[in-house]
Structure 1
Amino acid sequence: MIKPKTTKRDTREELESLVDQFIKRNGTIQQVNMGESGLVDGKYNTSHIGFNEPKQDRTPLNHVVAAIQQRKHTKSPTTPAAKKRPKKKIIYDDFGDPIRWVWEE
């Protein structure tokens, strides 16, 4: 049996019922300013931002790129040329009905 997809309306109703149950059990909702929940001690949490280390020097690999490009543009003599295979062609009469098959090269 296929499980029906939950719609946005179903999700909203479920959340509203959960909030109502929380409030009925004497739960309190704390109001916070927008963006405040992302702050740590009143400042943005920068420990997860990846700019703490100094800039590293890159290793030049121009000779490696040149070797790859050269291999890409040189054709290897080991690959044989593809032989042309005969193709099967259908012959039609004047009314468009098929008559017979013939092989063409």
Structure 2
Amino acid sequence: MIKPKTTKKETRKELESLVDQFIKKKGTIQQVNMGESGLIDGKYNTSHIGFNEPKQDRTPLNHVVAAIQQRKHTPPTKPQAKKKPKKVIIYDDFGEPLRWIWEE
């Protein structure tokens, strides 16, 4: 059985009930200024930003792109279908079937 997705309304209610339980257990909520939690020593944490490395030279691949474009514009060739052997019946002089043979 697939569990139905929770709606935003249900999620909000659950969070509110969790906060109410925390407060009832004598928990305190500390107010923090907006953006303050993302700062380390008053500065933004830039260790995860990927701009620390020097710019690398790119390898030109124009010939690869040209080959791909050429393949797009040429119609694909269909492989030759192998002819399947055909089952043929052999009759005698009186029209009675004798045997089956395979012809290519």
Q: Which runs of 5+ in 1 are unaligned?
A: 81-105
The RMSD of aligned alpha carbons is 2.4
Structure (1 or 2) with the larger CA radius of gyration? 2
Q: Aligned-pair distance for 1:34?
A: 0.6
Structure 2 match to 1:25: 25
1:26-61 per-residue CA deviation (whole Å, 9 max, x = no partner) reads 111110001111111211111111111110000111
1:49-90 per-residue CA deviation (whole Å, 9 max, x = no partner) reads 1111110000111122222333333446x437xxxxxxxxxx
1:68 and 2:74 are equivalent in the alignment: no
Alignment partners' CA distance in 2, 1:65 and 1:7 = 47
TM-score, structure 2 normalization: 0.60
Q: Which runs of 5+ in 2 are unaligned?
A: 80-104
Identity of aligned residues (%): 89
